[in-house]
Amino acid sequence: MGEGHKVEVKHEWQDGPELLTAKCDGDKAMAELAILEPLLELPEETGTAKREDGSAAKSNRGIFFGKVFTPLYADCSPTSLLIESFITSAENMSFTPNSCFQALYAKKGFDLLFSAYRDGDYYEHHRDVSKLTVLLWLGEKNFEGGDLYLTDFDYTVEYEPNKIFMFPSHYQHEVTKISTDHEGFVRYCASAFIN
């Protein structure tokens, strides 16, 4: 999947939450994200969900692409192009009137956030402030945890490199705590928030 490539998007909805999933080649996106790693910001600087006491509900670091790149760059960004290709393939699918993915037909664009996790990092349960959320997982699987847990459904999506998927942003979700012996960041994710 990528520039000019149509992807095979699978629509899952039986026996769990409604999801769209696909496999992709994330090598170019991973190389782009590696360039951004030195610019990563603290959780409080990336629009994080908050606990009742006002503290950040996550411990990972991240950066919005718009803080680093001009909007014109989105036309050549490997990460943006990969996610746009996935979204376009999803838009070409047919959904029932009750599908959460009807929101695709009225999308206005998306914001892109790069996140990286180290040993002990997590993101507590929260809901995103957008219509739909796309996650692109990149890197090696050299850690335990880091799965997406959809708390509303008691449903886990296990971390798998080069997996891209979409779910309704109102689904309450969390990233399980990372455990690894490796130094530095080990779990990489590009998140697109579709408005």
**pLDDT confidence of residue 5:** 54
Cα(163)–Cα(172) distance, integer angstroms: 20
Consecutive H or E run containing 10: strand 10-12
Encoded tokens for 104: 């695709």
CA dist 149 and 138 (Å) reads 18
Reported as a single tens digit per residue, the pLDDT across 45-56 is: 998 888 989 899
> Which pair of structure tokens corresponds to residue 143?
């850690």
Q: What is the pLDDT of residue 1?
A: 46
Instruction: State pTM to two decimals.
Output: 0.93
**CA dihedral sign of residues 104, 136, 1, 29:** positive
Q: What is the pLDDT of residue 25?
A: 93
The superfamily in CATH containing domain 10-194 is: q2cbj1_9rhob like domain (2.60.120.620)
User: Crossing angle of helices 27-36/78-91, nearest 10°?
Assistant: 130
What is the C-alpha radius of gyration for the chain, rounded to an integer number of angstroms? 16
Q: What is the pLDDT of residues 141-175, one digit of tens each?
A: 999 999 999 999 999 999 999 999 999 999 999 99
